[in-house]
Each structure stands twice: as structure tokens, then as C-alpha cells.
Amino acid sequence: MNELITKEMLEGGYVPDVIFDKLEEYKSAVEWFETFKFQARVAMEQNHIKKWETDYFVMDYIDEHKSPKIDTKRMKETWFDIVDANGEVTKVNAYEFFVKQTNVKAHTSYKEKK
């Protein structure tokens, strides 16, 4: 199916061939950048450098640490009682109570297959 869509996109003139060349360039650049970040992290760690700042970028070395994270699975399984002004008790799901719906503008997404 995906090959048919790709063929249709190319043959229909919706996406020029050069796009696939640019994607390959992008993949190479991403791979190079990941290698650069790894090598920089190792060098910064070994030399106790916390910040590297140039005219083009700032790179911070961040030690391993704990970071808070909401356990949404547990939150979805949790219910609690809320008492309103009239004294009526209502069972409420913790996740639904705290989740906030936001508008998302139309966009495309791109995910690299590993």
C-alpha cells in the first residue's frame, strides 16, 4: 500500500524526485549530528565541562537524574469523590478531571522508521 502511495505521489507530480534525495541528505545529517552530540557528551563528561557555548550553539551537559512524570495509566484507573456546594457526591475519574483539551492546528507529522 505504501509503495502505491509513494508511486502515486511521484507519478502524479505531487512530490518531485528531488524530495527523496533531500530525505537521504537529511538522514545523513541527522546521523552525523547524533554522532557529534554523543562525542561531545563523552568529552564534556570526561573533562567536567557543563556548558559549551559558541557563536552557533549552546550545549549543556546534564548529569543523570530523576525527573517527575505523571503516571497516566494509574491516573486513568483512579476515581475519587467530589462534593458539590449542595452536598451531593459525584464519582470522578482523576484523569478526566485533570486532563485539558487543547486545539491542534492542521499539520503533517514525520516519523523516522528505525
pLDDT at 76 over 70: yes
Which pairing describes strands 51-53 and 58-60: parallel, antiparallel, or unpaired? antiparallel
**With the C-alpha atoms ordered 12, 18, 19, 23, is the resulting torsion angle positive or negative?**
positive
Looking at per-residue pLDDT, the higher value among 6 and 61 belongs to 61
* Cα(81)–Cα(97) distance, integer angstroms: 11
pLDDT at 1 over 60: no
- Tell me the mean pLDDT in the region 87-113: 88
Looking at per-residue pLDDT, the higher value among 9 and 70 belongs to 70
pLDDT at 95 over 70: yes
Where do the structural domains in the chain lie, given as residue ranges? 1-65, 66-100
User: In the structure, what pLDDT confidence band is assigned to residue 13 with cuts at 50, 70 and 90?
Assistant: confident
Tell me how many degrees the CA angle 98-74-94 measures, rounded to the nearest 5: 25
Task: Say how many CA atoms lie within 13 Å of 61 toward its Cβ.
Answer: 16
